[in-house]
């Protein structure tokens, strides 16, 4: 079994703790960091734990074995799947300042034979926990980051050896640089410059045109573009949460989607009056439709673009964290069906109620699934005065 060199894991952990958290600044002394990993990711979790202590923080660790998830799906009643230990999670929310989630599926397809309805039901049980964390984040008191520990199972689904898979991770996260933190700060600066230009434009609508794609999106009131915050490592995407009510047209996604322990291929969505009216897939269409049946999962929560000049990811990785940051020749576009990001509100998000967010077209849903297209596309911005400007072409922003 391939294991990355200790220096690579050490650099990886330092990127997470000393850069990714706290919007590029890293954690502060006495911060409490909640580290969650699946069993294969323990080698990286140990380095993350050490990095937290080196920084003067406090580390909590939660190690997950996917076999228990599988047992739960197979053996639990509906009531058991919906069980939520409220006091436990309330105490956790009140305690932690940061969350590091290490994705490390031993087998990305481990739920492929499970009932899709039960899988989705189990994922909704902790919805209140996520909502509490969202509120704490809106108040500026909590932040999080996701990363990937490459496993043999990931590599197999991507058609790579484990070492080749880790070569992509190392390249994407700049872990072969002598000073990865310096490189990340440079990338962060470039992304921030692009975001500043986007936010200076009075954009009313966006028109996305590509193979089997002709999609209109309404940016919405009091919106801003985001990216490069360290929420994901790696993260090169620039995104916003549009007004879902202005989504019209169709879009094709060429990258397979790994979700709920399954793969969904060749997804096509058609929107009318902001809602999905048609959803098809060449593989696992039933799961796609079950996913969209969830509350407000038939509406979009995010629109994103990745500039190929920022991202070094050049291969399909069979993991959304990497695939949504795909660089390659044409970068990528992705939509998330479901939940919007409150931090895309151009104002003090902590002062808005959920009803006020909904009134300006932010979507509230237990689901948030990114679906990705890497084909060549052109994105045209239509301004409030009716003028037009191409903002993205051939995988690059044209600002």
Question: Exposed, middle or buried by CB within 10 Å (0-12, 13-18, 19+), for 314?
Answer: middle
Instruction: Tell the residue number behind the tokens 């399909």, with chain if given.
Output: 316
**Within a domain: 358:** yes
- Report the pLDDT value the prediction gives residue 127, as an integer from 0 to 100: 87
Of 136, 153, 176, the last residue of a domain is 176
- Report the pLDDT value the prediction gives residue 108, as an integer from 0 to 100: 85
Q: What is the extent of the structural domain holding 204?
A: 184-397
Asked if residue 260 lies in contact with residue 73, where contact means CB atoms within 8 angstroms, the answer is: no
pLDDT at 259 over 90: no
pLDDT at 318 over 80: yes
241 and 333 co-located in one domain: yes
170 and 294 co-located in one domain: no
Q: What is the pLDDT of residues 359-371, one digit of tens each?
A: 999 999 989 999 9
110 and 149 co-located in one domain: yes
Instruction: Tell the residue number behind the tokens 């969650």, with chain if given.
Output: 36
- Report the pLDDT value the prediction gives residue 203, as an integer from 0 to 100: 98
Q: What is the mean pLDDT of residues 108-125?
A: 85
Q: Work out how many domains the chain is built from and give that number.
A: 2
Per the prediction, the chain carries an average pLDDT of: 95
Q: What is the mean pLDDT of residues 130-156?
A: 94
146 and 99 co-located in one domain: yes
Q: What is the mean pLDDT of residues 322-344?
A: 95
Q: What is the pTM of this model?
A: 0.86
**Within a domain: 271:** yes
Q: What is the mean pLDDT of residues 366-394?
A: 97
- Report the pLDDT value the prediction gives residue 240, as an integer from 0 to 100: 98
Q: What is the pLDDT of residues 17-28, one digit of tens each?
A: 999 999 889 999
Q: What is the pLDDT of residues 207-253, one digit of tens each?
A: 999 999 999 999 999 999 999 778 899 999 999 999 999 999 999 99
Q: What is the mean pLDDT of residues 57-83?
A: 94
pLDDT confidence of 263, banded at 50, 70, 90? confident
17 and 45 co-located in one domain: yes
- Report the pLDDT value the prediction gives residue 261, as an integer from 0 to 100: 76
Q: What is the mean pLDDT of residues 186-199?
A: 95
188 and 171 co-located in one domain: no
191 and 275 co-located in one domain: yes
300 and 218 co-located in one domain: yes
**Within a domain: 1:** no
- Report the pLDDT value the prediction gives residue 2, as an integer from 0 to 100: 87
Q: What is the mean pLDDT of residues 97-106?
A: 96
**Within a domain: 99:** yes
- CATH code for position 15: 3.40.1830.10
Separation of alpha carbons 280 and 253, rounded Å: 11
- Report the pLDDT value the prediction gives residue 193, as an integer from 0 to 100: 96
Of 124, 151, 176, the last residue of a domain is 176
Q: What is the mean pLDDT of residues 305-327?
A: 93
- Report the pLDDT value the prediction gives residue 109, as an integer from 0 to 100: 82
Q: Other CB atoms closer than 10 Å to residue 134's CB: what's the count? A: 17
82 and 159 co-located in one domain: yes
Please report which residue ranges of the chain form alpha helices under DSSP H: 6-15, 42-54, 66-75, 78-81, 86-95, 116-124, 127-138, 152-158, 162-172, 180-199, 285-293, 320-323, 354-359
- Report the pLDDT value the prediction gives residue 123, as an integer from 0 to 100: 83
Q: Other CB atoms closer than 10 Å to residue 74's CB: what's the count? A: 12
Selected residue with higher pLDDT from 122 and 275: 275
Count of all residues that appear for the chain in the document: 399
217 and 276 co-located in one domain: yes
74, 92, 121, 229, 389 from 367: Cα distances, Å:
22, 22, 11, 22, 32
pLDDT confidence of 44, banded at 50, 70, 90? very high
**Within a domain: 258:** yes
- Report the pLDDT value the prediction gives residue 237, as an integer from 0 to 100: 95
pLDDT confidence of 77, banded at 50, 70, 90? very high
168 and 267 co-located in one domain: no
CA 153 to chain centre: 20
Q: What is the mean pLDDT of residues 145-151?
A: 97
Work out the percent of the chain whose per-residue pLDDT is above 70.
Answer: 100
For the chain, the first-to-last Cα distance in angstroms comes to 45
98 and 221 co-located in one domain: no
Of 123, 148, 176, the last residue of a domain is 176
Asked if residue 147 lies in contact with residue 16, where contact means CB atoms within 8 angstroms, the answer is: yes
Q: What is the pLDDT of residues 154-175, one digit of tens each?
A: 999 999 999 999 999 999 999 9
């Amino acid at each position: 079994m391939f294991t990355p060199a200790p220096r690579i894991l050490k650099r990886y952990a330092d990127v997470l703790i000393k850069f990714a958290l706290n919007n590029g600044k890293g954690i502060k002394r006495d911060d409490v960091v909640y580290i969650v990993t699946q069993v294969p990711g323990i080698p990286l979790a140990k380095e993350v734990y050490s990095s937290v202590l080196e920084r003067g923080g406090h580390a909590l660790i939660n190690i997950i074995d996917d076999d228990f998830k599988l047992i739960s799906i197979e053996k639990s009643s509906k009531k058991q799947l919906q069980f939520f230990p409220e006091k436990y999670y309330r105490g956790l929310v009140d305690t932690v300042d940061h969350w590091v989630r290490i994705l490390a599926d031993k087998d990305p397809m481990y739920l492929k034979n499970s009932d899709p309805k039960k899988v989705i039901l189990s994922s909704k049980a902790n919805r209140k926990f996520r909502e509490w964390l969202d509120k704490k984040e809106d108040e500026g008191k909590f932040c999080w980051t996701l990363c990937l520990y490459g496993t043999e199972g990931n590599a197999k689904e991507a058609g790579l050896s484990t070492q080749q898979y880790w070569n992509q991770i190392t390249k994407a996260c700049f872990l072969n640089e002598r000073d990865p933190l310096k490189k990340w700060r440079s990338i962060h600066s470039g992304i921030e410059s692009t975001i500043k230009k986007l936010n200076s434009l009075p954009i009313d609508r966006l028109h996305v045109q590509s193979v089997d794609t002709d999609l209109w999106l309404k940016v919405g009131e009091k919106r801003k573009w985001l990216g490069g915050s360290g929420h994901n490592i790696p993260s090169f995407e620039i995104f916003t949460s549009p007004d879902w009510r202005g989504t019209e047209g169709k879009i094709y996604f060429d990258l397979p989607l790994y979700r709920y322990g399954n793969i969904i291929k060749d997804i096509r969505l058609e929107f009318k009056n902001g809602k999905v009216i048609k959803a098809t897939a060449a593989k696992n269409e039933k799961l796609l439709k079950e996913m969209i049946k969830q509350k407000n999962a038939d509406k979009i929560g995010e629109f994103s673009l990745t500039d190929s000049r920022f991202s070094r990811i050049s291969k399909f990785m069979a993991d959304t964290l990497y695939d949504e940051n795909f660089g390659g020749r044409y970068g990528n576009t992705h939509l998330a069906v479901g939940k919007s990001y409150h931090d895309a509100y151009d104002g003090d998000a902590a002062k808005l109620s959920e009803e006020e967010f909904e009134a300006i077209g932010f979507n509230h849903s237990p689901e948030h699934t990114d679906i990705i297209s890497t084909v060549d596309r052109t994105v045209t911005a239509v301004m409030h005065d009716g003028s037009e400007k191409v903002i993205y072409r051939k995988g690059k922003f044209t600002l």
